[in-house]
C-alpha cells in the first residue's frame, strides 16, 4: 500500500493568517500557498504590491513556457536573485544574450552525454559508497550532506576532471545553504515597500556567492592560462569544450569570469538540484520498505554484484519510476518565475506588461484535478493509464520548451546509478527524527535536514 509523503506546510484559509505567515515565513514559498492553490487552474493575487499570476492549467502552462516563451522571459527578479552567484549567464539571461550563450555552450553540452560522463560518474558514486561505510552503524544520518557531496563530485569530475575533496564538499553545502537563506531578502529591497525588514542579507548572500565562485575559479583559472599558453594534454571535459568555444560573430573566446559564470550554472543545475532530489528519494524509500526491497531485487537481477554498465541503467525500470515519483512530489525547482513582456492573454484573462507569471511544478505535481492520490508516494502510478495521462500533461520537473533543462537525461542516469549502488550496499531505514519539512528557496530542500539510518546488507 503506498505511504503518504512527508509533511509539508498546511495551506491556510483565513486572510489574516495568510498575511502573518507571509510576513514571518516569507523565505519558504510553500508556506504562502492556500488550500485552493492545489485545485485552481489559475489565480491572481498581490504580493508586496506586485501583481502575481499563478498558472496551473496545462494549456496555459504550455503557452507560457513553449508557444509564447519569448513573451514570458525569466523575471528580472531571478537575475537579481542569482547574479552574485551566476553572473550574467545562460540561466538568468533572456533574448539574444541567452540565444548567444546557448549557441556558445552547445559543444559543452555534448560532453554531458552519458558515453562521456559514465566513467567519472561511476567513480564518484563508488567513492560515495565507500564514504558511507563507517556511517552505516544505525545512527541517524543527514543524508543531504552525502547527496550534496556525490552530486558535486560527479559534476566536478565531468566538468573539470577533478574529484571533490571533503573540505570543499562541506564548504559548498554551507555556502549554498547560506545563499539560499539570504538571497531572497537581499533581493527584495529592489521590489519591496519601505517597511520590508532589513537584516544585512545582501552582504551575507554576496559572500556566499563569492565563496562558491572562488572555489570554481581556483580550478578554472589555471586551465584557462594553460590553454591560451598553448600547453597540450588538457582533459577532454566540459571546461575543455568551453575553452575551445568561439563566438560565431566575433570569434572571441570566453574569459575567466565568463567561464566561471557558465560553469557556476552547470554546477548549480548539475549538483544542487540533483542533491535535493536524491535526498528526498532515499527518504521516501524509508517510508515504503516493500518498494525498497523490490528495487534491491531489480538491482541484483540487472546488475548483480559486479561493476555497473551504462546499458544496464536503462533496464532499471522501478528505480526510474522511484526517481520520477520523487521528482513529482519534490521537484527541485518548485517555482518557475516569468514576467509578461507585452500585453497578452492567459485563459481569456488579459495580462499586462511587467506582471509576474508563476508556473509551479510543486502545485501542478500535487494538483487534485490532475493526479489521483496526489500526496502519496506511489512509483507504480506511472504504470496506470491515469498516471501516464497525468505525466503527459502535468509533469515538468525539468521545465519545458526552449529553456528545458539540457541535463535532464544526465540527472536521471546519475540518480539511477546512485540509488542502485547505495541500495545494493545498504538498507535505508527510518530515523528517529521529525519528518523533514520542505522549504522552497532557490531549490527545494529540507528545513532541518533529511535524516535516515543506514545498515550494511549482508
Q: What is the pLDDT of residues 272-299, one digit of tens each?
A: 889 999 999 999 999 999 999 999 999 9
What is the DSSP-derived secondary structure letter of residue 229?
T
Helix (H) or strand (E) holding 404: none
Can you give the pLDDT at residue 267? 78
Positive or negative torsion for Cα 375, 380, 143, 268: negative
pLDDT by residue (tens digit) across 83-94?
777 777 776 777
Check residue 239 and give its pLDDT. 87
End-to-end Cα spacing for the chain: 27
Q: Mean of the pLDDT values across residues 299-310?
A: 97
Does residue 405 have a known ligand-binding role?
Answer: yes
| CA atoms of 311 and 118, how far apart (whole Å) | 10
Q: Tell me which H or E stretch contains 46.
A: strand 42-47
The dihedral over CA atoms of 340, 345, 346, 347, expressed in degrees to the nearest 10, equals: 170
26 grid coordinates: 516569507
Superfamily designation of domain 3-344+359-456: Cytochrome P450 (1.10.630.10)
176 φ/ψ sector (left φ>0, alpha ψ -120 to 50, else beta): alpha
Q: Where are the domains of the chain?
A: 3-344+359-456
pLDDT score of 243 more than 80: yes
What's the pLDDT score for residue 188? Answer: 47
**pLDDT average, residue stretch 351-361:** 93
**Whole-angstrom Cα distance, residue 235 to residue 391?**
39
The 8 Å CB, 24+ separation contacts for 398-401 are 399/65, 399/333, 399/336, 399/361, 400/61, 400/62, 400/65, 400/66, 401/62, 401/65, 401/66, 401/69
In which band, very low, low, confident or very high, does the pLDDT at 394 lie, cut at 50, 70 and 90?
very high
Helical residues (DSSP H) of 188-255, grouped into ranges: 201-228, 238-244
pLDDT higher for 309 or 204? 309
- Quickly tell me which residue has 513556457 as its cell: 65
Overall pTM > 0.85:
yes
Report the candidate in 203, 236, 294, 262 with the shortest Cα–Cα distance to residue 2.
Answer: 294
397 is written with which cell numbers?
520537473
Mean per-residue pLDDT for 199-225? Answer: 80
pLDDT tens for residues 406-444?
A: 778 889 999 999 999 999 999 999 999 988 989 887 778
Q: 201-228 vs 143-160: helix axis angle to the nearest 10?
A: 30
pLDDT exceeds cutoff 90 at 139: yes
Amino acid at each position: 500500500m503506498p505511504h503518504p509523503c512527508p509533511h509539508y506546510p498546511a495551506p491556510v484559509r483565513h486572510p489574516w493568517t495568510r498575511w502573518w505567515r507571509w510576513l514571518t515565513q516569507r523565505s519558504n514559498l510553500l508556506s504562502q500557498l492556500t488550500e485552493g492553490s492545489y485545485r485552481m487552474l489559475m489565480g491572481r493575487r498581490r504580493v508586496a504590491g506586485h501583481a502575481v499570476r499563478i498558472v496551473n492549467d496545462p494549456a496555459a502552462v504550455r503557452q507560457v513556457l513553449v508557444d509564447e516563451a519569448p513573451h514570458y522571459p525569466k523575471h528580472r527578479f531571478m537575475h537579481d536573485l542569482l547574479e552574485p552567484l551566476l553572473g550574467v549567464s545562460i540561466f538568468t539571461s533572456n533574448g539574444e544574450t541567452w540565444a548567444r550563450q546557448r549557441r556558445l555552450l552547445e559543444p559543452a553540452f555534448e560532453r554531458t552525454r552519458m558515453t562521456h560522463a559514465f566513467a567519472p560518474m561511476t567513480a564518484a558514486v563508488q567513492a560515495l559508497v565507500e564514504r558511507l561505510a563507517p556511517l552505516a552503524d544505525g545512527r541517524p544520518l543527514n543524508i543531504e550532506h552525502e547527496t550534496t557531496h556525490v552530486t558535486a563530485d560527479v559534476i566536478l569530475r565531468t566538468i573539470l576532471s577533478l574529484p571533490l575533496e571533503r573540505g570543499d564538499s562541506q564548504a559548498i553545502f554551507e555556502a549554498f545553504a547560506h545563499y539560499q537563506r539570504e538571497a531572497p531578502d537581499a533581493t527584495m529591497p529592489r521590489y519591496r515597500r519601505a517597511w520590508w525588514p532589513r537584516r544585512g542579507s545582501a552582504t551575507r548572500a554576496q559572500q556566499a556567492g563569492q565563496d562558491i565562485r572562488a572555489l570554481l575559479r581556483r580550478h578554472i583559472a589555471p586551465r584557462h592560462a594553460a590553454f591560451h599558453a598553448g600547453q597540450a594534454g588538457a582533459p577532454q571535459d566540459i571546461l575543455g569544450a568551453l575553452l575551445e568555444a568561439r563566438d560565431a560573430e566575433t570569434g572571441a573566446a570566453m574569459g575567466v569570469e565568463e567561464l566561471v559564470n557558465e560553469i557556476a550554472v552547470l554546477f548549480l543545475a548539475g549538483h544542487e538540484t540533483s542533491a535535493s532530489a536524491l535526498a528526498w528519494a532515499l527518504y521516501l524509500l524509508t517510508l515504503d520498505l516493500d518498494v525498497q526491497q523490490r528495487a534491491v531485487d531489480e538491482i541484483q537481477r540487472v546488475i548483480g554484484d559486479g561493476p555497473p554498465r551504462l546499458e544496464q541503467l536503462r533496464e532499471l525500470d522501478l528505480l526510474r519510476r522511484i526517481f520520477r515519483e520523487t521528482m513529482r512530489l519534490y521537484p527541485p525547482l518548485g517555482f518557475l518565475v516569468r514576467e509578461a513582456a507585452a500585453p497578452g492573454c492567459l485563459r481569456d484573462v488579459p495580462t499586462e506588461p511587467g506582471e509576474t507569471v508563476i508556473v509551479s511544478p510543486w502545485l501542478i505535481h500535487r494538483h487534485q484535478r490532475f493526479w489521483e492520490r496526489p500526496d502519496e508516494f506511489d512509483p507504480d502510478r506511472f504504470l496506470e493509464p491515469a498516471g501516464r495521462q497525468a505525466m503527459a500533461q502535468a509533469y515538468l520537473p525539468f521545465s519545458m520548451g526552449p529553456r528545458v533543462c539540457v541535463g535532464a537525461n544526465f540527472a536521471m542516469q546519475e540518480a539511477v546509478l546512485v540509488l542502485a549502488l547505495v541500495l545494493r550496499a545498504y538498507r535505508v531505514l527510518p530515523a528517529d527524527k521529525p519528518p523533514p519539512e520542505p522549504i522552497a528557496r532557490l531549490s527545494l530542500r529540507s528545513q532541518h535536514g533529511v535524516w535516515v539510518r543506514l545498515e550494511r546488507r549482508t
